[in-house]
Structure 1
Amino acid sequence: MEEFIAASPNSKEILNSAKLLQAVNIHALIYGDIGVGKKTLAKFISPEARVFSCHELQKDIIDKVINIEKQTIIIKKVEEITNIDLILNWVEKNEIRVIATTQAKTLNSKLNDIFSITLSIPPLSKREEDLKLLTQKFSNEASKVLRTEKILPSKLMLNTSKNAHSLRKSIYFSYLFETVGEDEILMFLENFMLTNLEGENSYKDFVYLFEVPLLKAAKKKYKSQVQMAKHLGLNRITLRKKLEIHKELL
């Protein structure tokens, strides 16, 4: 079973609450963004529980092919339930305990009312100690899977936009990148553009692929916009315009 990393103060509190839920038979809701560990925490609370998607569970109930009584189940993305009465009636009739996960900030009131407790898992950006441990874990994993020496932490390109999902992917990419040279980078870009080349403004549409990584690298390397402009060979007005154009990607 995958471990729920809990080294940060806020995640330690969540794990303590989850330990209490192991001993009480109440419905619980776990909220958080993609990749924060909702399913892992649910399995920590009830390791033997079967995991269902909403579509799968509804279909099994309608088709009468599910035979569960007085057990705990985990429902992923509970906000996607389309027949709430069907699920709730089945849960009550069969004395089912539900541990559900959701990315939705609000649920249908009828569905929300069944949960006695909600655990909210913060993103990795607010769990510094957890991020460090997960980075080490995924780096060890990538080194083993790809059969290569571990690379320095400073060389890891960490993407936490989708928490653990994007973090793992970015670390694997960091290891692969160690074997990639300029020719391969140009080849990747060429293939990407060839696949997506269309319309009459393709140059304008694709220029961000060059400008965004360059601006990101300059922001990391130089301490001020004055230094960025100097080393990029741009005047400050042009630099500010480009930073504004690409601000959502920077």
Structure 2
Amino acid sequence: MQDFIAQDEISKEILNSAKLLQAVNVHALILGGAGVGKKSLAQYILPNSNIYNSKSLQQDIQDEVINLQNDAIIIDKIDELTNIDLFLKWINTNDIRIIAISENNMLNQKLKDIFSINLEVPSLHKRELDTKALIHKFSLEASRTLDMEMISSSKLITNITNNTHSLRKSIYFSYLFETIGEEEILMFLEKYLGENLGEDNAYKNLLYLFEVPLIKASTKKYKSQVQVSKHLGLNRITLRKKLETHKELL
């Protein structure tokens, strides 16, 4: 069974609803963006059930190659079902209970109507305590996987733009970063640049790979534009132009 991290109040409320769903035989829909923990929550509700991709399941139903009766299953990406009538007939005929997962609520109304409970899992941006717990979990996981001592939280790079997907990746990268030096960084950069050369004005188009992280690191360290300008050796007009040029990445 997967762990659904529930340290924030909103997550605790969701987990309480999930506990209720363990005891009642109703269909439920779990909504939320990528990496928020929808599958973990579904597996918490139905720990012994299989997870089916909706498109593959629909094809198996059409081909009559699936044999399930009086069962409970988890269906991922329920919004991608196209033959709703066939699906509804199948679950009713075979007495199938479903816990469905979707990244959006744009479902066919017939499909929406079968769900007694909807649980919406918010992004990690709204779950500060959950995020801290996940950072510790992924850091411990990375330490064991890479056979390294755990590194301090101050050295961890934490990216939650894609929730747990990007967070786990950034934690592992933090550990790998501890093992590389300037030579490796230049090697990786050379490889990336080599694969992306070929257009006209390549120097101008790829310069952001150097400027953006430099400006971001300087802004984080020195706070004010005056100090950033001073330490980078740029006049403030030039710095403002670069900030404007790269504003979508900063």
Tell me the TM-score range normalised by the shorter chain: over 0.9
Output the amino acid matched with 2:227.
Q
Given the two structures, how large is their TM-score scaled by the length of structure 1? 0.96
User: What is the Cα deviation at residue 208 of structure 1?
Assistant: 1.3
Equivalence for 2:86 = 86
Output the amino acid matched with 1:227.
Q
Equivalence for 2:24 = 24
Output the amino acid matched with 1:233.
G
Equivalence for 1:107 = 107
Could you tell me how far apart the structure 1 residues matched to 2:115 and 2:237 are? 54
Equivalence for 1:189 = 189
User: What is the Cα deviation at residue 117 of structure 1?
Assistant: 1.4
Could you tell me how far apart the structure 2 residues matched to 1:98 and 1:115 are? 9
Equivalence for 1:128 = 128
Equivalence for 2:67 = 67
Could you tell me how far apart the structure 2 residues matched to 1:226 and 1:167 are? 32
Residue correspondence of structure 1 range 158-173 to structure 2 within 5 A: 158-173=158-173
User: What is the Cα deviation at residue 158 of structure 1?
Assistant: 0.7
Equivalence for 1:116 = 116
Cα offsets for 1:90-131 (capped at 9, x unmatched): 111111111111111422222222212111111111111111
User: What is the Cα deviation at residue 248 of structure 1?
Assistant: 2.4
Equivalence for 2:216 = 216
Output the amino acid matched with 1:14.
I
Could you tell me how far apart the structure 2 residues matched to 1:93 and 1:86 are? 10
Aligned length: 250
Where 1:22 maps in the other structure, the secondary structure is helix
Equivalence for 2:148 = 148
User: What is the Cα deviation at residue 246 of structure 1?
Assistant: 2.1
Where 1:73 maps in the other structure, the secondary structure is strand
Q: Which runs of 5+ in 2 are unaligned?
A: none
Could you tell me how far apart the structure 2 residues matched to 1:161 and 1:203 are? 28
Could you tell me how far apart the structure 2 residues matched to 1:108 and 1:224 are? 51
Cα offsets for 1:159-199 (capped at 9, x unmatched): 11111111111111110110111110011011011112121
Moved more, 37-46 or 79-88: 79-88
User: What is the Cα deviation at residue 60 of structure 1?
Assistant: 1.1
Output the amino acid matched with 1:239.
L
Could you tell me how far apart the structure 1 residues matched to 2:121 and 2:66 are? 31
Equivalent pairs: percent with the same residue? 62
Could you tell me how far apart the structure 2 residues matched to 1:84 and 1:180 are? 52
Could you tell me how far apart the structure 1 residues matched to 2:13 and 2:213 are? 38
Q: Does 1:12 align with 2:12?
A: yes
Equivalence for 1:42 = 42
Equivalence for 1:174 = 174
Output the amino acid matched with 2:87.
I
Could you tell me how far apart the structure 2 residues matched to 1:226 and 1:108 are? 55
User: What is the Cα deviation at residue 83 of structure 1?
Assistant: 1.7
Output the amino acid matched with 1:174.
S
Could you tell me how far apart the structure 1 residues matched to 2:201 and 2:86 are? 51
Cα offsets for 1:204-227 (capped at 9, x unmatched): 221111111112211211222222
Where 2:2 maps in the other structure, the secondary structure is coil
Contact 2:2 2:41 in 1 (8 A): no
Output the amino acid matched with 2:89.
N
